[in-house]
Amino acid sequence: MDRREVLALGLAAAGAGLRPAPAKAAGTAETDAGNAPREDANLTIGVETLREAEKLHAVRFPDDALRRLAPLLSDKAKAIGPFHAESRPRDLQPASRFDPRMPGRTYPVQHDHVRLHAGRRPTLPRADIDVAFASVAEQAHWLATRQISSLRLTEIYLDRIPRIDPKLNAFITITADLARRQAKERDAELAAGRSRGPLHGIPYTLKDVIDTAGIPTTWGSSLFRQRVPSEDSAVAAKLREAGGVLLGKVATAELANGATWFGGMVRNPWNIDEPSGGSSAGSGSSVAAGLCAFSIGTDSLGSILNPADRCGVTGLRPTFGRVPVHGCMPLTPSLERIGPLCRRAEDAALVLAAINGPDPRSSASIDFGFAYDSAIDPRTIKVGYSPKWFSKVGFGEAGGEGQLLGLVPASPGHLNGLAAMKDIGVEMVEVEFPVLPYAMLLDSLYVESAAIFEDLTLSGKDAQLIAPWADSWRQARFLSAVDYYQIERFRRQVMEMMDRLFDRVDILFAPTYGSFELLMIANFTGHPGLSFRSGFAETATRDLGFAPIDPSGAKRRVTSNISMHGRLFEEGKMLALARLLEEKLDVWRERPTIG
C-alpha cells in the first residue's frame, strides 16, 4: 500500500479499538448482526474468475491447477455465506493473542509506587481560570489541604463547559448531575478522613468509546447513538474507585477514525478553524481548553499521540496490555490501548497508576506494576534519535511524495526540544531504521477492524458512516489469508528489530510526527509512547495534516510537541525525563485564548 492510503485511513488517527461490556443498545445489537447469504449471487467460480483474482495477490498458477481449484473454491464460496449469517458477539476475542514481550527477555519487576517531584505546591489561585488549568497534582494538593472542595472544583468546570464547548464540539454527553453527586461524596469522604488517592475528587472526562453504566456510549456514530451500556468498563470502574469525578463523555471520531463524530468536527482550542486531531479528539480538546483536569483516550494508530500533538497537551500511550480494555469499543484486538491526556507529564503518571492493572476478562491483559520516580539522573539515559526526524514532520518520509503528504519543516518548538534534550545531560545516540516495508503492517489494522465490524460491511450500513472506514474494510476482504499471516510474521521481525534497538538505547526521541515510521512501528510492537509540548509554531489553518490548507492564509500560533517511545513497561522513565524537559523548556504555562 502506498502513502496516499495511509493518509486515507484518517491521517494516522484510527483510534484504539476497545471491547464493550454487555450493553443495551436501542436499535443496535451488541453482536455482529449476521447476514443471510445472497440468494441472487452466482457463486460458481470458473478459471477466468481465478485468473483475474490472481492479480489481487500477485500470484500465477498453472492452468490445470486453476481447473482443479475452480470447483473447490465454488464450494467454499457457497459455504462462507451461512458462516457470514451466524451472529457473534462484537466483543468476542480472537483465539490468537498478541503479547509484546519477547521470548527469553526479562522485564524488571516494578512495585506500584509514584514519587512526584518535591517542588513547592502553589496556594489556591483566586481566579477560577487558573484553578481550571492547574495540574492534577496541584488540584490534588488543594483538595487534600482543604483549600478547595471537590464540589467547588467540579462547579468551575461545569461553568466552563457550556460557555466554551459550543466553540469546540468536544462533549457528546455532559454528566452534570452525576458529577455533582460524586463530588459531594468525595468531599464527605475527605471530611471523614478517607482519601482514595491522588485522584480523589478530581474531575475528568472519558472518550466516548469507554462504557459507563446507564450513560450513553455512542462510539461517535449515528448508528450507535442510542447505545446505553448496562455496566462500567474496567477503566471507568478503576477511576471511580480512585475517586475521580466524571464530567462527561467526550467525542471520539466515528468508530475511532478521524476527528468528526455524528455531531460534527471537534476543534483545536489553539485554532478553532482546524480539527483537534483524532481519534481521541474530544479528550485532547477538552484538556487543552481547561474543561477538565484530565481525560482518557484510546489508541490503535496514534489516536492519543495525534490529538496531544495537535492540542499541545501530554498524551501517554501505555505498553500494550498494561491497561485493561474490557468494556470498551472493540476494533483492533492486537493494537488497542487506553491512556491519559493531561496538561503535565507527572499528571500522566498519577492517572496511569490509577488505571494500570490486570483484568481476567481481557485476554491480552498483562499483570505488571507501575513505578514512577521523578528523581531520575539523565546522565544514565541513552536517547536514540535521527537528525532527519528533526528535519520535516508529517505522515511519511521526505521525498517525491512529500508535498502530497503535507510534509513541513520541523518547527522552532521541535528544535528547541532537541536542544533541551541535549542540554539536560543524556547520552545522545544516532539511530536509523533498516529499510523494510513497514506500511504493510497497516493491513493488520484493516483486517482486524473489518472483522469486528463485518456486519456493517455485509449489510451495506458502512455507507452511512462519516469516517472513511468503508473502503478500508472492503479492501481487507481481498487480502489473502496467507499474505495476512506473512504480515504477522513480518510484525514479529519488526518486534525483534526494536528489541535489539532498545539494547542500545533507553528511549527513541523525535517530534511526534518527525518519523511516521517510528510512530507506526511502536504501535504494532506494543511499545509505550509519549507526546508533550516543546514549543510553538506559526502556521495558517491546517486540516488533519500538517501543511496549511491555504498557505497564504492568516497565520495562527499553535503548539509543537515532541515524543518519546520507550522500552516495554518503562513509562515511568519516559515521564520522569519528560518532566525534566518540561521544566527546562518552560512552555506548558501558555494557554489557548479560547477560555
**H or E stretch at 350:** helix 345-355
The length of the chain in residues reads 595
**What beta strand segments (E) does 168-224 contain?**
171-174, 203-207
Q: Grid cell 484538556 — which residue?
A: 287
Q: Are 270 and 288 in contact (CB under 8 A)?
A: yes
Say which residues have a Cβ less than 8 Å from residue 539's Cβ, sequence separation at least 6.
408, 548, 555, 556, 558
Report the relative pairing of strands 427-430 and 382-385 from DSSP bridges. Answer: parallel
CA–CA separation, 487 and 496 (whole Å): 14
Tell me, rounded to whole angstroms, the distance of Cα 434 from its chain centroid.
26
Say which residues have a Cβ less than 8 Å from residue 92's Cβ, sequence separation at least 6.
none
Say which residues have a Cβ less than 8 Å from residue 174's Cβ, sequence separation at least 6.
158, 161, 162, 247, 248
**H or E stretch at 160:** helix 150-168
Q: Please, what's the largest Cα pairwise distance for the chain?
A: 84
- Give the residue among 94, 2, 13 at the shortest CA–CA distance from 469: 13
CA–CA separation, 3 and 14 (whole Å): 15
Q: Are 258 and 179 in contact (CB under 8 A)?
A: no
- Give the residue among 6, 102, 97 at the shortest CA–CA distance from 498: 102
SS3 category, 371: strand
Report the relative pairing of strands 113-115 and 88-89 from DSSP bridges. Answer: unpaired
- Share of the chain residues as helix, strand and coil, in percent rounded to the nearest 5: 40, 20, 45
CA–CA separation, 393 and 545 (whole Å): 10
Tell me, rounded to whole angstroms, the distance of Cα 528 from its chain centroid.
11
CA–CA separation, 499 and 504 (whole Å): 9
Q: Annotated catalytic sites, by residue? A: 207, 279, 303
Q: Are 231 and 211 in contact (CB under 8 A)?
A: yes
Amino acid at 123: T
Residue 182 corresponds to which cell in the numbers above?
460524586
DSSP string for 47-102: HHHHHHHHHHHT----HHHHHHHHHHHHHHHHHHHHHHHS-EETTPPPSS----SP
